[in-house]
Amino acid sequence: MTSKADEGGRDLRISQLTKEFATFTAVKELDLVVPQGSFFALLGPSGCGKTTTLRMVAGLERPTSGSIHLGDFDITYEKPYRRPVNTVFQSYALFPHLTIADNVAFGLRRRGKKEVKPAVDQMLELVELQAQAKKKPAQLSGGQQQRVALARALINRPEVLLLDEPLGALDLKLRRAMQLELKRIQTEVGLTFVHVTHDQEEAMTMADTIAVMNGGVIEQMGAPNELYENPKTTFVANFLGQSNLIATTIHGHEGDFVVGDMHGTKVSVRADRAHSDSGRAGSAYARRRC
């Protein structure tokens, strides 16, 4: 299965991906490349299409049109179990009657592996739960249970790990601690992580690249600092922080600057930071940190 993906690298490539339901279009002609080994975040409000996109990559939703490739391996219509992809959900989905070690070993045993202890021990060490191996899920905290779910997914050695709001059920302090844990784990294992979240701080803390989604399309994509300091749309500016926006009438260029009128005041913006050169636009003149 992985040999096909190896032929052309292992970037996750989404091309013209669309998902239509009876009354609305959840994802509209989405184009996206997630580089191999990166921590990528799909960020946006509820209903923006981010979870639907993740479910199509996982094989849990069938695209209306478009394609999904992992390297040269076309996984658009592959069954979920045939994809080199695993998903970690917000709900953990652990087996309450099994020990932590048996939960982590579950995937390997289903595939017929008989000697699983070394791999299980390695995963428990990675998520720092060696001492909890014989306990049941109900005896662990929420953060520990989420780490068990991570270990159970990672032990199958997927090429891409999909994380669907994995920290949403945790309290604020634990969620912030788990953000650092997730980033540490991703750095250690070197896999591609695709993380869906509506939490701006979560995405900014962990991701190498963020795609901000709205209405089924990507409004802007880039490094966290780039998106925060130079948003291209009013939606992105407001979603990634608290901004003050003032409508501006743009008159044109003066050298390397775009000039306009902001309620009677002439303003100049470097052309490389201006995302419009005519008409009316919103000018972010002050930015307050989240």
Instruction: Tell me the pLDDT tens digit for each residue of 100-113.
Output: 999 999 988 888 88
d(CA 267, CA 261): 6
pLDDT in tens, 258-273: 777 666 676 777 766 6
Q: Mean pLDDT throughout 54-73?
A: 96
Structure confidence at residue 232 (pLDDT)? 85
Residue with tokens 């791999």: 119
Structure confidence at residue 8 (pLDDT)? 41
d(CA 138, CA 288): 41
d(CA 284, CA 290): 15
Q: Taking the CB of residue 106, how many other CB atoms lie within 10 A of it?
A: 18
Structure confidence at residue 290 (pLDDT)? 41
Position with higher pLDDT, 271 vs 133: 133
Structure confidence at residue 1 (pLDDT)? 37
- Any idea which of 6-20, 102-116, 159-173, 212-226 has the lowest mean pLDDT? 6-20
| Highest-confidence segment of 24-33, 90-99, 163-172, 238-247 | 24-33
User: Looking at domain 2-84+158-228, which CATH architecture does it have?
Assistant: 3-Layer(aba) Sandwich (3.40)
In the chain, residues under CATH classification 3.40.50.300 are: 2-84+158-228
Distances in whole angstroms, Cα of residue 286 to Cα of each of 39, 276, 282: 30, 19, 12
Structure confidence at residue 7 (pLDDT)? 41
Q: Mean pLDDT throughout 85-106?
A: 91
Structure confidence at residue 89 (pLDDT)? 87
Structure confidence at residue 233 (pLDDT)? 86
Whether 285 shows a pLDDT value over 50: the answer reads: no
In the chain, residues under CATH classification 2.30.30 are: 241-288
- DSSP codes of every residue in 237-271: HHHTSEEEEEEEEEEEEETTEEEEEETTEEEEEEG
Whether 3 shows a pLDDT value over 60: the answer reads: no
pLDDT in tens, 155-204: 988 999 999 998 887 888 888 888 998 999 999 999 999 999 999 999 99
Tokens of 190: 């070197």
Backbone dihedral region for residue 37 (phi beyond 0: left; psi -120 to 50: alpha; all else: beta): left
User: 54 near 194, Cβ under 8 Å?
Assistant: yes
d(CA 3, CA 88): 24
Query: Under CATH, what is the fold of the domain 241-288?
Result: SH3 type barrels. (2.30.30)
Read off the pTM.
0.83
Tokens of 147: 């780490």
Q: What's the mean per-residue pLDDT of the chain?
A: 86
Position with higher pLDDT, 18 vs 141: 18
Whether 241 shows a pLDDT value over 80: the answer reads: no
Residue percentage of the chain with pLDDT more than 90: 61
